[in-house]
Amino acid sequence: MKRRRFLTITAGLLAASATGISAAISAAPMQEWRGIALGASARIALAHPDAARLIDAARAEIVRLERVFSLYRADSELMRLNASGRLEAPSLDLVTCLGLCDRMHQATKGAFDPSVQPLWDLHARAASEGRLPQPGEIATARARIGWQGLRLDSARIEMRPGMALTLNGVAQGFIADRVAALLRGHGVENVLIDTGEIAALGQGPDGKAWPVTIRDGRELALRDRALATSAPLGTVLDAAGTVGHIFDPASGRPAGGQWRQISVSARSAAVADALSTAACLMPDRAAIEAACQAAGDARLEQALAAA
């Protein structure tokens, strides 16, 4: 699913010369790759003598993970799970991601619920027909959702009949974390990864933390930390731009008009991604901050109220 982009990376693409970096890496020019990950614009920036090979490895990792999480590839693990309600021998990536989803479901008191895919399908179909869903249709879709209907272990994943999952509220962050881990395993200490959510390792080209500017102009300095931003109308399903893509499992309707944009930081981009998504359904800052505290090492960076 394509997202409207809310984050602008402001670090200049200059050669690094920071204390503590080897002379070879310091002399290497900053290299950048731009492409697509899960339908969103993606970017990797790093200064390393072997940057081209490392970027190729990162791109291959993104492609591999799209085969797990994509809702647009018929052969992805997620699509096969949704089609049959059962998946034998799931990948470690899918099992790990769903385990994290369970933790975020608990931390957000149910606001984060990947089983809302039937609601997305209903609202998207109704929007394509130029109408809003009827109350009876919403009730039918809601009867098919519920995180408690998922059974998960390393050998198989099973869902209650009629269920379907979307990982659009966590997969971009999960991929950023996986790419960061891959590059760290190759000895990369300083890199910026943007897969729709941001993971920043080490320092930027000027030897300082990576500067990231959020939409309203506020600048954050990220070092070994991730940032995710969500907006109820970041992606819309109707021509009028009023039906957003984040759905409330309690009401069956899109997120209300409380928030325009929410940014959360955490050590993990997947955690930040899930929290920023769920926060769009929460009534006030206190509820968001409580969820961040329950998730551990997460912080609300920005909550812009709707006009």
Q: Is 229 annotated as a binding residue?
A: no
Tens-place pLDDT, residues 217-271: 789 999 999 999 999 998 899 888 888 999 999 999 999 889 999 999 999 999 9
Give pLDDT, residue 239.
Answer: 87
**What does each C-alpha distance from 138 to 115, 162, 285 come to in angstroms?**
14, 14, 28
Cβ-proximal residues to 194 (8 Å cutoff; 6+ apart), any chain: 7, 9, 41, 42, 43, 44, 176
Residues of the chain with pLDDT under 70: 1-28
Give pLDDT, residue 78.
Answer: 98
Give pLDDT, residue 37.
Answer: 87
Q: Is 204 annotated as a binding residue?
A: no
Residue type, 31: Q
Q: Is 110 annotated as a binding residue?
A: no
Specify which residues 199 forms β-bridges with: 193, 226
Please name each of the domains of the chain with its CATH number: 1-307 (3.10.520.10)
